[in-house]
Amino acid sequence: MNPHIWYPYTQAKTAPDPIEVKSAKGLWLELADGQKIADCISSWWVNLHGHAHPKIVAAIAHQAAQLEHVIFAGFTHAPAQELASQLVARLPENLTRVFYSDNGSTAVEIALKMAYQYWANIGKHRGRFMSFEGAYHGDMFGTMAVGTRSIFSDVFKDLLFEVDFCPYPDTYDGDLDILEKEANCLNIIRQNLSDRPNSYAGIIIEPLVQGVAGMRICRSQFLQQLRELATEFDTFLIFDEVMTGFGRTGADFACNRAHVKPDLICLSKGITGGFLPLAVTVATERIYGSFYSDDPTKTLYHGHSYTANPLGCVAALASLKLLTQNQPIYTQMEVWHRQYLIELANKYPQLSKFRVMGTISAFDVNNSEKSGYLNNVGREIRHHAIAHGVLLRPLGNVLYLMPPYCITESELAWVYQQIDRVLDKVLGDSSAE
């Protein structure tokens, strides 16, 4: 192993050596030793249509020979213009102004800046954000601040601005308390908004699914009521759809599935089909209008070297086309997931909180350890899954699947069969100890 690489989210001292991947095609990764494993987490949630999709490969190759990159201030190019139009056409009609960047954390950071500066631009001061327990919005300081305080951000906590966190009303199959949880949460939000009038720049949420927190799912009805509160108290509703965008929730965007129009939306991960880093933050005319001025201090002074990279933009255009063609698959995957989850539920009493949202399925694996990111059962499952030809990366004791949309029903059935074998081993072993 090359000793010079410092890997992300990895404690080098205790982690096993990283596995070398030689190539990938569709659902399958081919390892350096020739073994094939099914990529059931879409490679950190970015891949949509399978690896090395020829349509995206061709689009990038063609564009690379034409214009690989150009400064995006004072200059523009056709792929960025075309992509902006296509995104606006698919998003709720109030979202009309597309700001490009290059990763999910940045897309969120920009949304926070836009919301904050909007109020400054119109001569008011609103310095607070509201967010949700369990939230993850990225690894930069602003995004860490609006994320739940966790082992990821604890060491930096003195540097993070103050945020009011509300409970996220997560639900699962057979949850009897959901209405009560939602009412409680909405009460807290209303209370915050009335206790501190005119002080919130915005409320940020991962709509329908909190990813990193362990695929925690909330209902559309909750998001609709949240929208009403934000409107009533005139603060911005920011949807971080970095993970939920582009078909993940069974609709093109979570906002469309929930029938909720946010004031700002952040998109990244799946945007290029998993080929290249790209992100957008899309704002309303109202927000954009406050920056549109003869006064230079009202400008959004933000930008990155690779903003609106043309290769990323053409990959995104090719991916959007495939998304339209693949719509039946990502909308029907929910039904496939459910039928296999039932089998696991019937077999293993240690599993609970089964939940499905579009292409994502998840459940909790209960062992004697505390639930959460540091629970070791996830690491054990990951290890055995590789031996069974499946890439899984449980979040603590939450096992989830997020396959690319190219997966066939029989491949998915096979994946669940392997999960059954892995659970049999892991849970069987632990009860024998």
Ligand X SMILES: *Cc1c(COP(=O)(O)O)cnc(C)c1O
**Among the listed residues 27, 108, 226, 267, the single contact to ligand X using CB under 6 A:** 108
**Among the listed residues 116, 136, 168, 336, the single contact to ligand X using CB under 6 A:** 136
Do residues 173 and 361 make contact, with C-beta atoms less than 8 angstroms apart?
no
Nearer to ligand X, 276 or 390 (CB): 276
The CB-of-135 to ligand X minimum distance in angstroms stands at: 8
Determine the Cα–Cα distance for residues 153 and 362; give it in Å rounded to an integer.
25
Out of 100, 116, 118, 136, pick the active-site residue: 136
Kindly state whether residue 134 participates in binding ligand X, applying the rule CB under 6 A: no
Query: For residue 399, what are the CA distances in angstroms to 78, 351, 360?
Result: 42, 10, 11
Select from 86-94, 134-142, 319-327, 418-426 the region that touches ligand X (CB under 6 A).
134-142
Q: Is the dihedral of CA 172, 177, 181, 187 positive or negative?
A: positive
**Among the listed residues 104, 202, 214, 245, the single contact to ligand X using CB under 6 A:** 104
Beta carbons within 8 Å of 326's beta carbon, 6+ residues apart: 49, 247, 405, 406
Kindly state whether residue 145 participates in binding ligand X, applying the rule CB under 6 A: no
Kindly state whether residue 138 participates in binding ligand X, applying the rule CB under 6 A: yes
Active site residue 269: yes
Out of 181, 269, 330, 340, pick the active-site residue: 269
Do residues 354 and 365 make contact, with C-beta atoms less than 8 angstroms apart?
no
Select from 132-140, 250-258, 330-338, 359-367 the region that touches ligand X (CB under 6 A).
132-140
Kindly state whether residue 243 participates in binding ligand X, applying the rule CB under 6 A: yes
Active site residue 118: no
Nearer to ligand X, 103 or 375 (CB): 103
Kindly state whether residue 103 participates in binding ligand X, applying the rule CB under 6 A: yes
Determine the Cα–Cα distance for residues 145 and 75; give it in Å rounded to an integer.
34
Do residues 302 and 374 make contact, with C-beta atoms less than 8 angstroms apart?
no
Active site residue 173: no
Quote the Cα angle for 84-27-313, to 5°: 15
Question: In this structure, what token pair is assigned to residue 143?
Answer: 């995004």
**Among the listed residues 50, 134, 211, 214, the single contact to ligand X using CB under 6 A:** 211
Q: How many residues bind ligand X (CB under 6 A)?
A: 14
- Cα 404 from chain centre: 14
Determine the Cα–Cα distance for residues 309 and 69; give it in Å rounded to an integer.
6
Active site residue 347: no
Beta carbons within 8 Å of 120's beta carbon, 6+ residues apart: none
**Among the listed residues 42, 105, 131, 331, the single contact to ligand X using CB under 6 A:** 105
The CB-of-144 to ligand X minimum distance in angstroms stands at: 11
The CB-of-244 to ligand X minimum distance in angstroms stands at: 7
Determine the Cα–Cα distance for residues 412 and 414; give it in Å rounded to an integer.
5
Q: Which residues bind ligand X (CB under 6 A)?
A: 103-105, 108, 136-138, 206, 211, 240, 242-243, 268-269
Catalytic annotation, residues: 9, 136, 240, 269
